[in-house]
Amino acid sequence: MVSDDLLIEEGHRRPRKAPTAFRTISEVSEDLQIPQHVLRFWETKFTQLKPLKRGGGRRYYRPEDIALLKRVSDLLYTQGYTIKGVQRLLKDGGAEEEVAAHGELPLGDPPPAEEPDQRALQEVLEELDAIGAALHQLASRG
């Protein structure tokens, strides 16, 4: 039987931490499914990310850092913002105070979705049909 104070993921046991506990880069990387090198890169691009650094350069992320990382990840990977777009949101939106107060960033307007060019799509389909017909003709010869 496993006690409630252990977290088991993929066969690894580690103590369950309090929500207010600091986390190492490996814990954050695993929890958010973001590679460690990406987290370190984001620190250079988003000055609001300021994990504590201890001896040997070990990083310790505070809960507000983790909330900011979740938000940056969502904006970049889910909503399609660029790094510059997220930087602008963080700069213009007073995001540090928002993260500290609510644990998340304000959304802002997502980038406009582009409508596919119907004529261009039709041309591509016609070209693919022609290629398919040519391949079919070649296959029937041999």
Could you say which of 1.10.3720.10, 1.10.490.10, 3.90.1150.10, 1.10.1660.10 is the CATH number of the domain covering 6-113?
1.10.1660.10
List, in sequence order, every residue forming a beta bridge with 60; answer none if it has no partner. Answer: 24, 52
Confidence of residue 122 (pLDDT cuts 50, 70, 90): confident
Q: How many CB atoms lie within 10 A of CB 4?
A: 6
Confidence of residue 107 (pLDDT cuts 50, 70, 90): low
Q: What is the mean pLDDT of residues 53-73?
A: 91
Q: Please give the residue that has the higher pLDDT: either 17 or 106.
A: 17
Q: What is the mean pLDDT of residues 65-71?
A: 93
The per-residue pLDDT of the chain, averaged, comes to: 80
Domain ranges of the chain: 6-113
Measured distance CA(131)–CA(79) in Å, rounded: 35
- According to the per-residue pLDDT averaged within each range, which of 29-43, 105-119, 127-141 is highest? 29-43
Q: What is the mean pLDDT of residues 44-68?
A: 91
Burial class for 23, CB neighbours closer than 10 Å (0-12, 13-18, 19+): buried
pLDDT for residue 55: 84
Q: How many CB atoms lie within 10 A of CB 28?
A: 21
Q: Please give the residue that has the higher pLDDT: either 55 or 102.
A: 55
Confidence of residue 94 (pLDDT cuts 50, 70, 90): low
